[in-house]
Amino acid sequence: MKQVLTSIVGNASLKRKLYSDILSSSLSHAYIIEGKKGSGKHTLAYLLAASVSCENSKNESLPTPCLTCSTCRRILEGNSPDVILVSKEKDKVFLSVDIIRELREDVNLVANELDTKIYVIEDAGLMTTEAQNALLLTLEEPPAFVKFFLLCENSESLLETIKSRCQKVSTEPIDISDIDTFLQKNNTDAKRLKLSSPESYNELLMASEGTIGKAIELLDENKLEQTLAARALARDFLGAISKKCSSELFASIIGRFDKKRDVIQTQFYTIETALRDVIAIQRTEDAPLLFFHSRDEALSFADSVNTRKLMSVYSALKEAQDSISQNANMRLTLISFFANINII
């Protein structure tokens, strides 16, 4: 059987969905590719683009895309003039109508080298309504040689009229073991870290949230240090609430929260993930875990705190997260959060 999209890690159902479309050369003219940041949306878009134009697509003994012909290589290296990346302006929050107007002018020009011209619209979810309406006119009657890939984290922000003209596919979180295999095969920093500090490497895998992009981002020395610190803080926090804890211990935990809002948000989020694992494992012992690498470690926390207390801490945590995201004073938010927990 011919292999299709073999270079995509995990994502079995996504690959199944696209398999016959690629083999029968009947890829839809427009796809919405939805998934978390770092989950491989760009990779998928470029592999689909390569599948459409691969010089070896009829060769049964080679996968599609073959990744080795010059067309595949040019596309995957981002050097094909016929695979066009459309991005928002760097200093803007939204993708403006001006960019889509430029695209519309370009759309009717025939492809330079290939038979098909492909537009990969990054951050399609950030298109203004005006931009979406402008794109809609093109999606309704595109030239036959044009395809669109709209990448977004969440397709909710797209107009129904856009969604109805596109096929939607989603990138899925990848198993930790698949991320490990991929990194060990392709990334020297990951290899080095696994050898020098297997424990930190496992922590990184868990913090990647099932996306290869995030795992690679966390290999940066500063990011890794921050992630490990946040995860250690989450464990100490759970340790503190699992016994009647002294005000000195709480004070020392408060002292470990950062002063920067985005770092505090990550610290709270990490604690939230750990707390959710403990609550989940109290309900079902084989619950999938998002924070803990070791099920035994999660179980030992689950055994030492009762569910009611965990739930109260969880709501206090959500309240603190809301305050932080609404620009409340961070120090006061932390103090009131810990005061709330202390009386639970």
Select 25 or 304, whichever has its Cβ closest to Zn ion: 25
Taking alpha carbons only, the member of 225, 226, 203 closest to residue 215 is: 203
When the beta carbons of 74 and 88 are compared against Zn ion, the nearer one is 74
Binding segment for Zn ion (CB under 5 A), chosen from 2-10, 70-78, 218-226, 328-336, is 70-78
Q: What's the min distance (Å) between Cβ of 57 and Zn ion?
A: 7
- Provide, rounded to whole angstroms, the least separation between the CB of residue 319 and Zn ion: 54
Q: Binding residue for Zn ion (CB under 5 A) from 14, 69, 150, 152?
A: 69
Least separation in angstroms between CB 67 and Zn ion: 6
**Cβ 64 to Zn ion shortest distance, Å:** 8
The nearer residue to Zn ion, 88 or 117, going by C-beta atoms, is 117
Query: Nearest distance from residue 193's CB to Zn ion, in Å?
Result: 33
Q: How far apart are CA 243 and CA 235, in angstroms?
A: 13
Tell which positions 276-315 bind Zn ion, by CB under 5 A.
none
Residue appearing with tokens 């290296």: 77
Contact flag: residue 114 with Zn ion (CB under 5 A) = no
Q: Stretches 50-58, 121-129, 131-139, 167-175: which one binds Zn ion (CB under 5 A)?
A: 50-58
Q: Which of 8, 32, 72, 253 binds Zn ion (CB under 5 A)?
A: 72
Binding residue for Zn ion, selected from 22, 47, 54, 234, defined by CB under 5 A? 54
**Distances in whole angstroms, Cα of residue 162 to Cα of each of 144, 157, 168, 322:** 18, 10, 11, 32
Taking the least distance from each CB to Zn ion, the nearer of 36 and 117 is 117
Distance, CA of 72 to CA of 66 (rounded, Å): 7
Query: What DSSP letter does each residue of 248-297 carry, written as one string?
Result: HHHHHHHHTS-SSHHHHHHHHHHHHHHHHHHHHHHH-TT---SS-S-HHH
Which has the closest alpha carbon to 341: 298, 309, 318, 303? Answer: 309
Q: Which residue has the tokens 């927990």?
A: 341
Joined tokens for residue 40: 């491989």
Nearest CB to Zn ion, comparing residues 72 and 324 = 72
The minimum distance between CB 142 and Zn ion, in angstroms, equals 24
Task: Quote the crossing angle between the two packed helices 295-304 and 261-283, to the nearest 10°.
Answer: 80
**Residues 103-112: contacts with CB under 8 Å, at least 24 apart:** 103/135, 103/138, 104/134, 104/135, 104/137, 104/138, 107/138, 107/142, 107/143, 107/146, 108/143, 110/145, 111/82, 111/145, 112/81, 112/82
- Residue 66 C-beta: closest distance to Zn ion, Å: 4
With contacts defined by CB under 5 A, name the span among 12-20, 62-70, 113-121, 179-187 that binds Zn ion.
62-70
For residue 66, state whether it binds Zn ion (rule: CB under 5 A): yes
49 binds Zn ion (CB under 5 A): no
Question: Which of the ranges 35-43, 72-80, 104-112, 137-145 carries the binding residues for Zn ion, by CB under 5 A?
Answer: 72-80
Distance CA 177, CA 316 (A): 34
Identify which range of 47-55, 98-106, 263-271, 322-330 contacts Zn ion by CB under 5 A.
47-55
* Closest approach of Zn ion to the CB of residue 313, in Å: 54
> Which strand ranges, in their side-by-side order, compose the sheet holding 146-152?
83-86, 117-121, 146-152, 30-34, 167-170
Which residues are near Zn ion by CB under 5 A?
54, 56, 65-66, 69, 72
